[in-house]
């Protein structure tokens, strides 16, 4: 080791008022480098990590890339990756140092000052920390002479260095001002090494921070990393805790996203960049959970709205699907109570359940097809809800309204569904003129329990983050089940008081042309306090509920040990049953599919059952298929 090392370059300043800058790696986004830079800038990022492959295939010189980034207001925070450098025999070291000098030339043209060096995976690398210390020190010497810093990162699959603490021991022993750590949340949290010690890293020695979330999977860590990373808030990692440790160690650089994901790399980069930005804003908000003045100053988001329930569900219908859903609602015990003052919109009510049929909504769907076009949630502060949504880059929707009509603010969910925010006093109901129809006894439906919304596969994780961040909902869990036409994934969300519930589903894979399932089904689940009484009322109203196989009920006896009389009553009305580990019970039934993709569920929760009955979803899907075959 030499004793004449130069000083490291001064790191760039943090964002305004101590708020970290935000960056995104170009590898996160699809398209050419021009596409990626434009998307990152439009989404509001302060900088980028430039991935080497994106530069290699670009028609621009490094100087031209630098100029383009400057025009867009983007800093080049990091150039990466530089691979397989340390702990190698002398002949390879000379070649590696020559290779590094060429990269330093590139960084100089780019105007970048930090190079990521990841731990070696090369077969020639030696398991010798002292040698790694010496060689990384030589690299740092040369980097410092060029005004460059080396950020050393432990790859989770590194040949000899694969954990953050091992990388830190090497960096600490080298003790070079131009050599520090790059901490990548995936590489840290995918390994069973406690990250708590990160808080004790010498201040100033964490040169760069990369963030990625991921689902918990049991698979090769390299494949897990390259195909299944997600943006913060979309996976299972405790990123708020991880970032808190890094910040407590004095880190003042950017929060940068580095996400390898097969879907993101094929999606519209502009949309992906907005999703990425939303994830960072939401993560930052979670870093300061208290109401101390210093924490409030760090917050950028209005507090999540306090949701008090479902106000209404709106279906877009046409001349064919509208009359069908009207008949179905009558059969469920609803009454047509209101007609909108200025629009072809009907209000149907029963108990606390409200459904709106709107024949004025333009939707890209086939004739005769109905769709959930909007839903409204009650909150004590609709304006704050919209402000939060806007801060999270959710599109706030303009709304045309006539004189004297209620002002309902709305934002667009990723699948195009409008989410309205309504006052608890239901002032919007004044927009509807009474029909004079006498409200009947109904069927015992008391409230909307949840909505079931099928999502496009490419935007399933985006939708989950949207509902978590914008509405402040909590994720209940993710379930996968083998359905008649392929593997399905379901993810439930709710608010702390269980006033609002959503179930998002997606077909994990769709291949081939044979797919006799319902395309993108949607449903509304209504709650009842007496499932058998409601089922009997539906029977009297002539509602055709879904017939369930006798084999299912025979299996219930084996699985749960239910009494024969109970099973007989369940079978009579087509009621399905589930029980959770705490003894909570769910009893629920379904209607057939109407309007091409819509069905209804009636459910009764007992004993604190908190799920959505996913175990019964394949049964319901098969029954829907048999029903359609019988109608042919």
pLDDT digits (tens, 9 = 90+) for 455-471: 988 899 999 999 999 99
Asked if residue 291 belongs to a known ligand binding site, the reply is no
Q: What is the mean pLDDT of residues 171-179?
A: 98
DSSP assignment of 394-418 equals: PPEEP----TT----EEEE-TTS-E
Distance CA 550, CA 557 (A): 11
Q: What's residue 227's pLDDT?
A: 84
Q: Is 523 annotated as a binding residue?
A: yes
Residues of the chain within CATH 3.20.20.150 domain(s) are 17-298
Cβ neighbours of residue 110 closer than 8 Å, sequence gap 6 or more = 50, 62, 63, 65, 66, 76, 79
Yes or no: say if 172 and 3 are a contact pair by the CB < 8 Å rule: no
The pLDDT-based confidence of 403 (bands split at 50, 70, 90) is low
Q: Give me the long-range contacts of 146-149 (CB less than 8 A, separation at least 24).
A: 146/104, 146/107, 146/108, 147/9, 147/113, 148/9, 148/104, 148/107, 148/113, 148/114, 148/115, 148/178, 149/8, 149/9, 149/11, 149/113, 149/114, 149/115, 149/178, 149/179, 149/180, 149/207
Rounded mean pLDDT, 187-198? 93
Q: Within its chain, how far is the Cα of 268 from the centroid?
A: 16
438 among annotated binding-site residues: no
Q: What is residue 3's predicted lDDT score, i.e. its pLDDT?
A: 34
Instruction: Give the residue-averaged pLDDT of 322-340.
Output: 97
- Per-residue exposure over 141-156, b if at least 16 CB sit within 10 Å of its own CB, e if not: bbbbebbbbbbbbbbb
Confidence bin at 291 (pLDDT 50/70/90): very low
What proportion of the chain, given as a percentage, has pLDDT over 90?
78
For the stretch 513-572, pLDDT in tens is 655 567 789 999 999 999 999 999 999 999 989 999 999 999 999 999 999 999 999 999
Mean pLDDT in the chain? Answer: 91
Q: Which CATH architecture describes the domain 307-631?
A: Roll (3.10)
**Residue intervals in the chain for CATH 3.10.180.10:** 307-631
- Does residue 109 register a pLDDT over 80? yes
Rounded percentage of the chain residues whose pLDDT exceeds 70: 92
| 184 marked as part of a ligand binding site | yes
The pLDDT assigned to 289 comes to 56
Q: Does domain 17-298 have CATH number 3.20.20.150?
A: yes
Mean pLDDT of the 341-357 span: 95
160 class by beta-carbon count within 10 Å (0-12 exposed, 13-18 middle, 19+ buried) = middle
Question: Residue 216: its pLDDT value, please?
Answer: 85
Whether the predicted pLDDT of 93 surpasses 60: yes
Is residue 405 pLDDT above 80, yes or no?
no
Distance of CA 141 to the CA centre of its chain: 43
Q: Residue 210, annotated ligand binder?
A: yes
């Amino acid at each position: 080791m030499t004793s004449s090392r130069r000083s490291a370059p001064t790191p760039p300043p943090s964002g305004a008022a101590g708020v970290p800058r935000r960056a995104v790696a170009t590898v996160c986004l699809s398209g050419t480098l021009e596409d990626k830079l434009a998307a990152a800038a439009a989404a509001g990022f302060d900088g980028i990590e430039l991935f080497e492959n994106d530069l290699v295939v670009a028609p621009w010189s490094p100087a031209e890339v630098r100029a383009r980034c400057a025009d867009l207001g983007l800093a080049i925070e990091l150039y990466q990756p530089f691979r397989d450098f340390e702990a190698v025999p002398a002949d390879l070291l000379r070649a590696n140092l020559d290779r590094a000098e060429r990269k330093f030339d590139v960084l100089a043209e780019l105007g970048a000052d930090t190079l990521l060096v990841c731990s070696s995976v090369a077969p020639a690398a030696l398991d010798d920390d002292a040698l790694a210390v010496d060689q990384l020190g030589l690299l740092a010497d040369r980097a410092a002479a060029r005004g460059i810093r080396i950020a050393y990162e432990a790859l989770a699959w590194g040949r000899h260095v694969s954990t953050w603490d091992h990388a830190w021991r090497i960096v600490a022993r080298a003790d070079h001002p131009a050599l520090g750590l790059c901490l990548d949340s995936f590489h840290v949290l995918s390994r069973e090494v406690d990250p708590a010690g990160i808080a004790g890293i010498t201040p100033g020695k964490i040169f760069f921070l990369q963030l990625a979330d991921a689902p918990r999977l049991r698979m090769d860590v390299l494949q897990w990393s390259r195909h299944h990373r997600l943006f913060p808030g979309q996976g299972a990692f405790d990123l708020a805790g991880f970032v808190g440790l890094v910040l407590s160690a004095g880190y003042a650089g950017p929060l940068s996203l580095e996400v390898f994901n097969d879907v993101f790399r094929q999606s519209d980069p502009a949309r992906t960049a907005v999703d990425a930005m939303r994830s960072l804003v939401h993560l930052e908000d979670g870093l300061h959970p208290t109401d101390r003045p210093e924490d409030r100053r760090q917050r950028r988001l209005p507090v999540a709205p306090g949701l008090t329930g479902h106000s209404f569900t709106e279906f877009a219908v046409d001349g064919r699907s509208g009359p069908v859903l009207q008949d179905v609602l009558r059969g469920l015990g609803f009454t047509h109570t209101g007609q909108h003052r200025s629009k072809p919109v009907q209000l149907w009510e029963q108990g606390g359940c409200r459904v709106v049929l709107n024949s004025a909504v333009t939707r890209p769907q086939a004739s005769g097809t109905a769709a959930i076009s909007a839903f409204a949630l009650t909150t004590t502060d609709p304006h704050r809800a919209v402000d939060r949504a806007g801060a999270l880059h959710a599109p706030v929707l303009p709304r045309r309204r006539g004189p004297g009509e209620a002002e309902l603010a709305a934002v667009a969910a990723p699948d195009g569904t409008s989410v309205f925010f309504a006052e608890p006093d239901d002032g919007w109901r004044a927009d509807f003129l009474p029909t004079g129809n006498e409200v009947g006894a109904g069927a015992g439906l008391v409230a909307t329990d949840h909505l079931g919304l099928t999502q496009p596969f490419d935007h399933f994780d985006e939708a989950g983050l949207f509902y978590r961040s914008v509405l402040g909902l909590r994720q209940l869990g993710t379930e996968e089940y083998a359905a008649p036409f392929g593997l399905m994934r379901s993810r439930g969300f709710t608010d702390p008081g269980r006033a609002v519930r959503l179930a998002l589903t997606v077909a994990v894979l769709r291949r081939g042309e044979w797919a006799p399932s319902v395309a993108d089904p949607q449903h509304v689940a209504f709650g009842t306090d007496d499932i058998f009484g409601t089922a009997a009322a539906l029977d009297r109203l002539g509602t055709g509920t879904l017939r369930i196989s006798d084999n299912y009920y025979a299996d219930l006896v084996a699985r749960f040990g239910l009494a024969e009389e109970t099973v007989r009553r369940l079978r009579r009305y087509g009621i399905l049953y589930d029980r959770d580990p705490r003894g909570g019970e769910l009893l629920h039934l379904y209607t057939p599919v109407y309007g091409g993709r819509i069905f209804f569920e009636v459910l009764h929760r007992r004993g604190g059952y908190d799920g959505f009955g996913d175990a019964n979803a394949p049964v319901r899907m098969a029954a829907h298929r048999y029903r359609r075959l019988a109608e042919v």
